[in-house]
């Protein structure tokens, strides 16, 4: 059977691998040799599950969205990752990785963040474990995302501005990687999505796979079947999507829909729709689809949602796209904002703008009346209130 999971070298089809400088090799190798073994240790599993339950608040509900379903004439369920502690799915991964770091004997954590969601989720677990935390964040994002910067500081993390390049997420990632090169022994780098060199994409996907694991039994309870007709998720780097698809990847009867940010329009020059605009290339140690100039320089993406504003996409998603296993839809800023307002007023849930993109697919794709669709509601909109306020002049 065709597998859409990573092979032992970290490749999803032609994508993935570890294109890293020799200086990083020992770090990645240490992780690669240990991550699966550690994740399968009963003591690790027990602590991970316990924290997800008591601290994060899992399982998150699978909620039948009655009014939304009625409006679009199909059956829509929402997987409520927005109800996780810290407000998004990101914390599933940071809980897993902080436990991994402890098992590996690390006493310092670094992370990159764009909008600050992953930074907050990392600062949170570091506070929980009493471990030093440095979060790299582009200077421009620090100015744009002041509340999350304050949250990280309040949680005891040091926020270091990335001053190089375009001073956004990709530069914060470069800085975090440089830090790791310089502190290879005591430091663990908690990457925030299914990106980066092997084994990160696979490790992060496994930590996020709790999402589809829960969807399976929850849907069984509600619909009498484990498999929906479609799973829908927004894709920045692709971690919430990887988690929502994970247990369905090799089940062809479950349709996979990936929603990317088209920004001001796929062909506007201000977009983050990597599948439409990207070419095969190397970013942050991974061979994947990425937005770049003809000359191979990585370009700056644009999206109204900082969490989707990444010039690449995880190698799993590049493979889902290239192989045709996944259907990719790009949604503009305007469509996403409208959908965010709609879901707020239909279901009483204000989503993160990243997630709003996933809610905008109904004007692009028609579903059958008895289709069962699960949308991964990756995060709540609190962090985006100012953007909503400015956009709708609330």
Partner 1 sequence: MMEDKKLLSIYFTAGYPALDDTVKIIQDLEKNGVDMIEIGLPFSDPLADGPTIQKSSTAALKNGMTTEILFEQLKDIRKSVSIPLIIMGYFNPMLQYGVEAFCKKCQEIGIDGLIIPDLPVDVYHEEYQAIFEKYGLINVFLITPRLRKNVFGLSIAFRTDSSIWSVRPVLPGLNSVLVMSNKTIFNALLHFRSRTLKLLASVSVIPKRSIKPPRAPKVLLSVRPLLNI
Ligand X SMILES: Cc1ncc(COP(=O)(O)O)c(C=O)c1O
CB 51 within 8 A of CB 95: yes
Residue 53 catalytic?
no
CB 267 within 8 A of CB 282: no
- End-to-end CA, the chain: 52
Work out which of 57, 61, 156, 184 binds partner 1, going by CB under 8 A.
184
Using the 8-state DSSP alphabet, how is residue 155 labeled?
T
Closer Cβ to partner 1, 22 or 390, answer by number: 22
Residue 117 interacting entry, from ligand X, partner 1, none, C-beta within 5 to 8 Å by type: ligand X
Residue 168 interacting entry, from partner 1, ligand X, none, C-beta within 5 to 8 Å by type: none
* Nearest distance, CB of residue 70 and ligand X, angstroms: 26
SS3 call for 303? coil
Residue 378 catalytic?
yes
CA distances to 38, 90, 187, 206 from 209, in Å: 16, 12, 25, 5
Residues in Cβ contact with 206 at an 8 Å cutoff, skipping those fewer than 6 apart: 39, 96, 246
Which is catalytic among the residues 75, 106, 112, 175? 112
Query: Which residues between 118 and 137 bind ligand X (CB under 6 A)?
Result: 118
- Find the helix packing angle between 25-40 and 200-208, rounded to 10°: 30
237 lines the binding site for ligand X (CB under 6 A): yes
48 backbone dihedrals φ, ψ, rounded to 5°: -60, -50
* Nearest distance, CB of residue 163 and partner 1, angstroms: 8
Closer Cβ to ligand X, 75 or 329, answer by number: 329
115 lines the binding site for ligand X (CB under 6 A): yes
Residue 238 interacting entry, from partner 1, ligand X, none, C-beta within 5 to 8 Å by type: ligand X
378 backbone dihedrals φ, ψ, rounded to 5°: -65, -25
Residue 112 catalytic?
yes
Which is catalytic among the residues 79, 90, 106, 170? 90
Catalytic residues: 90, 112, 378
- Residue ranges that bind ligand X, judged by CB under 6 A: 88, 90, 115, 117-118, 193, 234-241, 307-308, 352, 354-355, 378-379
């Amino acid at each position: 059977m065709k597998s859409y999971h990573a092979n032992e070298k970290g490749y999803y089809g032609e994508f993935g691998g570890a294109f890293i400088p020799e200086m990083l090799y020992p770090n990645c190798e240490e992780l690669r040799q240990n991550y699966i073994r550690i994740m399968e240790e009963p003591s690790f599993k027990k602590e991970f599950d316990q924290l997800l339950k008591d601290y994060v608040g899992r399982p998150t509900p699978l909620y039948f969205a009655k009014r939304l379903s009625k409006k679009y004439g199909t059956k829509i369920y929402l997987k409520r990752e927005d109800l996780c502690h810290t407000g998004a799915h990101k914390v599933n991964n940071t809980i897993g990785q902080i436990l991994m770091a402890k098992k590996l004997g690390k006493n310092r954590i670094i992370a990159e963040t764009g909008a600050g969601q992953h930074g907050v989720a990392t600062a949170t677990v570091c506070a929980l474990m009493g471990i030093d935390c440095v979060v790299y964040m582009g200077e421009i994002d620090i100015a744009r995302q002041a509340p999350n910067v304050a949250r990280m500081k309040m949680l005891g993390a040091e926020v270091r501005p990335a001053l190089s390049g375009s001073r956004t997420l990709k530069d914060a990632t470069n800085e975090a990687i440089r830090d790791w090169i310089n502190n290879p022994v005591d430091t663990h780098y908690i990457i925030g999505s299914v990106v980066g060199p092997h084994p990160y994409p696979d490790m992060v996907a496994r930590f996020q796979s709790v999402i589809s694991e829960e969807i399976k039994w929850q849907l069984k309870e509600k619909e009498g079947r484990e498999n929906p007709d479609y799973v829908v998720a927004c894709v920045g780097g692709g971690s919430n999507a990887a988690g929502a698809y994970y247990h369905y990847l090799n089940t062809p009867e479950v349709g996979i829909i990936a929603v990317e940010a088209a920004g001001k329009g796929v062909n506007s020059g201000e977009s983050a729709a990597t599948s439409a605009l990207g070419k095969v290339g190397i970013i942050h140690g991974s061979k994947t689809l990425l937005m770049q100039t003809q000359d191979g320089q990585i370009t700056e993406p644009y999206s109204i949602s900082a969490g989707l504003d990444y010039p690449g996409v995880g190698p799993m998603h590049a493979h889902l796209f290239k192989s045709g296993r996944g259907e990719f839809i790009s949604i503009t800023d305007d469509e996403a904002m409208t959908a965010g307002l709609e879901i707020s007023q239909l279901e009483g849930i204000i989503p993160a703008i990243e997630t709003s993109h996933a809610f905008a697919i109904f004007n692009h794709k028609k579903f059958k009346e008895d289709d069962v669709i699960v949308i991964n509601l990756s995060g709540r909109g609190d962090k985006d209130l100012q953007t909503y306020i400015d956009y709708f002049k609330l």
